[in-house]
Amino acid sequence: MTRSVKEMRMVYRDFLLENSSQEQGLAVLEADLSSSMATNTLAEAFGKRYVNVGIMEAEMVGLAAGLSLKGYHPYLHTFGPFASRRVFDQLFISLAYAQLNATIIGSDAGVSAEMNGGTHMPFEELGLLRLIPKANVFEVSDDIQFQAVLKQSLSLKGLTYIRTIRKNPKPIYQGGEDFSKGYFELRQGKDITVVTSGIMVAEALEVAEKMAKEGIAVGVIDLFRVKPIHEEVKTLLLGKPIVTLENHNKIGGLGSAICELVSEEKTTPVRRMGVDESFGQVGKIAYLLDYYGLSQESIYRTIKDFLEQATRE
């Protein structure tokens, strides 16, 4: 069943607006990208609890720490590279080490930065945030899931990072799903399992559907909470090959997390798909996915090759 899809930035804006009155502790911080994220309409609803600090991301994190000390729950947004690598020390020390509560929204995830180019195209932030002790790290795949994760974030303690695109996602969910465990098993498959997140979930599902017509049963798990990973995930994965698929560097992100999870299991081989030793660049999403070896054709070929290898061994 098809449904209308809401832009991810509108999901974020509406979540904040809907909670502005009942959650008086909410504060909204931007670093000169409020029009890009549609939060520039929130000043009236939030009053002094809305601050656009300008192009000063480290200052924004420091302000968030101060607000958290005063009992507020700050929500910070900027593009992914500026929400992670540019302010990593402030995130680590001012927020996480100080055991303060804050939710960071890193938008334009990976290739979704498109025409903004390499400086704005983050392939590393999941790895950086996973290194922070006790951080909560998410990557959301569509508007319905993003709304659910934002609601969860209201009660999460410590530092929470949510990786997202800004505009229209491909629809994955219909509403009413249980997202409480940080993963969702979208397809069961006896032959191989694809573990993925973000924009790659839709690509994995389309490939799995194609392979089902060839008699190959491909399971698909949307692991939208990359840290911490629910204990049930390991049980779901044991005993058959795994392909991890991410719009992120192969090092440090979802693929690394899964390898760490099953590293002692001889019956569970893993093949990682992600960006390999490359920086970002200018281009449309379809071109970039193909360039970085993440197109549906590449996913299909990787799964086939991996299954053939596993059969020979």
Q: At what angle do helices 200-212 and 296-312 cross, to 10 degrees?
A: 60
CB 141 within 8 Å of CB 112: no
Half-sphere exposure of 249 (CA within 13 A, CB side): 15
Average confidence (pLDDT) per 10 residues, the chain, 313 residues: 88 96 89 94 93 96 97 97 97 98 97 95 97 98 98 97 96 96 97 97 98 97 98 94 98 97 90 97 97 98 92 68
In terms of phi and psi (left: phi > 0; alpha: psi -120 to 50; beta: otherwise), the region of 154 is alpha
- The three-point CA angle 234-126-258 to 5° equals 20
Those residues whose C-beta lies under 8 Å from the C-beta of residue 309, and which sit 6 or more positions away, are: none
Using alpha carbons, select from 135, 137, 130 the residue that is nearest to residue 106.
137
pLDDT (0 to 100) of residue 313? 64
pLDDT (0 to 100) of residue 1? 54
pLDDT (0 to 100) of residue 182? 97
Q: At what angle do helices 8-19 and 143-153 cross, to 10 degrees?
A: 30
pLDDT (0 to 100) of residue 311? 72
- Residue the block writes with tokens 């399971």: 219
pLDDT (0 to 100) of residue 120? 96
Dist. CA 158–CA 152, nearest whole Å:
13
pLDDT (0 to 100) of residue 267? 85
- Residue the block writes with tokens 């909560």: 136
Say if pTM beats, i.e. exceeds, 0.85: yes
